[in-house]
Chain A
Amino acid sequence: MIVEFGHFALILALLVATVQVVVPAFGASLRDDRMMRVAEPAAVSQLFLIAIAFFALMYAYVTSDFSVANVAANSHSTKPLIYKMAGVWGNHEGSMLLWVLILALFGAAVALFGNNLPPTLKARVLSVQASIAVAFLLFSLLTSNPFVRLIPAPSDGNGLNPILQDPALAFHPPFLYTGYVGFSIAFSFAIAALIEGRIDAAWARWVRPWTLAAWMFLTIGIAMGSWWAYYELGWGGWWFWDPVENASFMPWLAGTALLHSALVMEKREALKIWTILLAILTFSLSLMGTFIVRSGVLTSVHSFAVDPTRGIFILAILVLFTGGGLALFALRANTMQSGGLFQPISREGSLVLNNLLLVTSTATVLVGTLYPMVLEALTGAKISVGPPFFNMTFGPLMVPLLMALPIGPMLAWKRGDLAGVTQRLGFAVLAAIVAIVAVSAMTHRGPWLAPFGIALGVYVMAGAAIEWANRIKLGSVSRSEVIRRATNLPRSSYGTLFAHFGIGMLVVGIVATSAYQEEHILVMKPGQSLAVGGFDVTFAGVDTGRGPNYRSDIADFDVKRDGASVTRLTPAKRLYDAPPQTTTEAGIHASWRGDLYLVIGDAQPEGGYAVRAYFNPLVRFIWLGALIMFIGGGISLSDRRLRVGAPSRSQRPVAVPAE
């Protein structure tokens, strides 16, 4: 009964969303207040109805109602409660329901918190937002209905893929989707602005918090996915340039560019048309990511859908919104008043460089991701594009970006003083040189470029710190003045500090672990030892154990460092009951220096086990860096929340041409 209620609520949500598309849009063009105001209750009730549908499905999962086909296919009565709940989005139908739920959540948030928006803009934004909801609700109801009943109901379900039964992965999709779908707001604002035919700095102020929120969640969502792949899949790697990873990484890159260009627009009223285009492209990449993951055109850990009608449906949605958005852009962009120009060496100039490099690198990732599909469609040749491609194309583009990163925030708006900034960055350059020397002294293998890569990360971290020190005049004024300045510094400055520092840390982690990973593959018998990454690892033997819904072979390793016991690691192989499938559980000892990572393989006929042992230096810096970036976004957002009410059209700063 509750399930039917959920199904009904989802259909009602479609009707409400349709009303929300049509009525406010007419209202805005007729300047009819009552029609425009329909958008707000519609957005809120749409959220309410989709939430009912979502929780109805969750109820079916929690109560293990196997008469629902979706539950029977993806759940099992013995599964732990948290994975029953997470199981809702661990499959295609349920994850699409989560998608529309988050879409509605953002729409309702604009309706509730966008009080300072001009009424016509708000009505149009909510109308466009609802049109996306209509498309995806139709997709859900017509091709991916999670509420279909199964008669007769099976006595138990098929179970959730065991590799998905994991805490990090349980929360990975909601974060990732919040990021993906959050960019829909930037898209809706862009389309609404194109329909309105005007755009100003206030527009950027409204769009930026939403984009920042989406960016934050996408950052942490990608990091969680990478963290999960690292410890759960047992390959010792953390990023594979897999098409599905790229699908989430491309909107992240474009979204990062959008954040920065919106900054220029907000402060200087420049790059207006470019920002609009970027907003359309960023959400288009999110849609394309959904298409890649959900259509089954690609094979990967995540692609569940194999039904071609779904692929065609999502492709149609993609073409409609991307094509429609770009067509509208082509029609209206030239009617918009373009912003002022500026000196190449200036804050604006550095942000343009940032955008140029981020968008170009997005394009290279796009080429690498789509090329195999296009080639196969055209010639039938089957190829794969792997990490070497991305290292060769994406890598070189990141170097100038990272080199310019600390310089940009120190340049003044309009006209910067490059020589002065270089002088102030002297300490960062010194830190980088020290890093090159130190890394070269400590290592005796690995590519010659690696110390320079680490130095680049150190330089970015030091640059972020110097920028902060300069702002609070550390060292040049009294201590109480420094503290006063540090407390008075706007939170968004701290956001920049954290985000840029996090990027530097991420780079250090990536280079260190890629260049200096130590790997051993060998057969170990009980009592044997292995030296890896400064640890002495002794294999004690293998025991069998039983978990809630699996049986496992658990190996026992004693880890020593300089003769002193450090820890015991217990990598395992699990055989799940439903579906019957084995998974590898890595044994990981984390330290600041790096991770010791052990995996066991097959038992050998003459005794012993195949063992893979890794030492991944500084690998934690990768996720820690991403976490710091996430926190930076949060700090910045908390600042903006106070200011979000500030801009109104009358207070808008008058654009000053650059000359």
Chain B
Amino acid sequence: MTRKQKRGVLIGGGVATLGLALILVMFALKDSIVFFHIPSDVLEKGVKAGERIRLGGLVEKGSVVRGQGTTVTFRVTDTLKDIPVTFTGVLPDLFREGQGVVAEGVIDGNGNFKADTVLAKHDQNYMPPNVAKALEAKGVKLGESAHPDALKAEAP
């Protein structure tokens, strides 16, 4: 093989690998990213039923209903609008009423959110930055945030 051919193989191989990776990344980004919304966004912008999203906000006080076996229902609120959420599984240790929460799942035709993952934060003063930013954009006043240690629970 000549020097030129060897160099050609090297460059060709590099370009082919990068091209393959680029295609994979494009497809993966199209299919597997999940958008984050607060309840007002979901209701106003009209998130399609069945579309996978992350729903963020506060766990509405007094809305948590446990004890239906392993299923828990609660409402996620941004203090303006709220959405009912059902989750089957064991909630994270730090899930509490009045605290910030992020739930991942899909909304069904009746406006109920079925979560398969729930993320909660451990500090009582903590607000997930996404939630805080989105709420502030809506004019909702929030306290100081601190110590963003995330914990997460997942259902099968």
Q: Which residues of A contact B (CB under 8 A)?
A: 161, 163, 233, 235, 237, 240, 296, 299-304, 306, 341-344, 352-353, 356-357, 360-361, 363-364, 367-368, 371-372, 381-386, 388-389, 392-393, 396-397, 519, 521-523, 573, 581-584, 599-602, 604-606, 610, 612, 658-659
Contacts and interface: CB of A to CB of B under 8 A. Distances in A.
Scoring B7, B28, B150, B153 by chain A CB atoms within 10 A of each residue's CB, the highest score goes to B28
21 contacts: A233-B152, A299-B130, A300-B149, A306-B147, A344-B13, A356-B13, A356-B14, A368-B28, A371-B33, A382-B54, A385-B33, A389-B32, A389-B33, A392-B27, A393-B21, A393-B24, A519-B156, A523-B69, A581-B93, A602-B90, A612-B90
Nearest to B137: A380
Nearest to B149: A301
A341 B90 CA distance: 58
A521 B155 contact: yes
Q: Classify chain B: how many residues form its interface, as a range.
A: 35 or more
A520 to B, nearest CB: 9
Given A301-B151, A303-B148, A389-B32, A610 B93 contact: no
A304 B147 contact: yes
Given A306-B145, A393-B28, A384 B54 contact: yes
A396 B148 contact: no
Contacts of A582: 93-94
Given A383-B33, A384-B54, A364 B24 contact: yes
Contact of A392 (B32, B90, B148): B32
B30 to A, nearest CB: 10
Given A299-B150, A602-B91, A384 B34 contact: yes
Interface in B1-19: 1, 3, 6-7, 9-10, 13-14, 17-18
B50 interface: no
B73 interface: no
Given A341-B3, A601-B70, A392 B28 contact: yes
A299 B148 contact: yes
B36 A384 contact: yes
A659 B3 contact: yes
Contact of A386 (B17, B34, B67): B34
Given A299-B130, A372-B33, A582-B94, 19 more contacts: A235-B153, A240-B152, A296-B148, A301-B150, A301-B151, A302-B149, A341-B6, A363-B21, A368-B25, A382-B134, A383-B33, A383-B36, A384-B33, A389-B32, A393-B24, A393-B25, A397-B24, A610-B69, A659-B3
B128 interface: yes
Nearest to B148: A299
Contacts of A303: 148-149
A353 B70 CA distance: 49
A364 B71 CA distance: 37
Contacts of A392: 24, 27-28, 31-32
Nearest to B147: A304
Interface string B16-46: 0110110011011101111111000000000
Contacts of A521: 70, 88-90, 155-156
Contacts of B145: 306
Nearest to B88: A521
Contacts of B17: 356-357, 360, 397
A382 B130 contact: yes
In terms of DSSP, what is the predominant structure of the interface of chain A? mixed
A382 B36 contact: yes
A583 B34 contact: no
Given A235-B152, A519-B156, A383 B35 contact: yes
Nearest to A357: B17
B142 interface: no
Contact of B146 (A306, A371, A522): A306
B141 interface: no
A538 B31 CA distance: 42
B120 to A, nearest CB: 11
A343 B20 CA distance: 23
A344 B54 contact: no
Contacts of A363: 18, 21
6 smallest beta-carbon distances between A and B, as pairs? A601-B90, A388-B32, A382-B36, A392-B28, A605-B67, A389-B32
Contacts of A602: 66-67, 90-91
Scoring A357, A372, A382 by chain B CB atoms within 10 A of each residue's CB, the highest score goes to A382
Scoring A161, A302, A303, A360 by chain B CB atoms within 10 A of each residue's CB, the highest score goes to A360
A613 B113 CA distance: 25
Contacts of B14: 356
A388 to B, nearest CB: 4
B75 interface: no
A304 B91 CA distance: 23
Scoring A299, A301, A371, A582 by chain B CB atoms within 10 A of each residue's CB, the highest score goes to A299
Contact of A610 (B29, B70, B146): B70
B82 interface: no
A389 B26 CA distance: 10
Contacts of A393: 21, 24-25, 28
B29 A389 contact: yes
Contacts of B36: 382-384
Given A582-B93, A610-B70, A299 B129 contact: yes
B70 A522 contact: yes
B3 to A, nearest CB: 6
A396 B24 contact: yes
Given A300-B150, A397-B21, A583-B93, A342 B6 contact: yes
Interface string B67-80: 10110000000000
Contacts of A573: 93
Interface in B92-115: 93-94, 104
A367 B128 contact: no
A457 to B, nearest CB: 21
B96 to A, nearest CB: 10
Contacts of B34: 383-386
A163 B32 CA distance: 30
Contacts of B33: 371-372, 383-385, 389
B67 A381 contact: no
Nearest to B32: A388
A356 B31 CA distance: 26
A643 B104 CA distance: 55
A344 B8 CA distance: 10
A430 to B, nearest CB: 29
B25 to A, nearest CB: 5
A363 B14 CA distance: 13
Contact of B6 (A237, A343, A601): A343
Contact of B90 (A161, A606, A610): A610
A306 B151 contact: no
Nearest to A356: B17
Contacts of A658: 6
B138 to A, nearest CB: 13
A363 B25 CA distance: 10
A144 to B, nearest CB: 16
Contacts of A357: 17
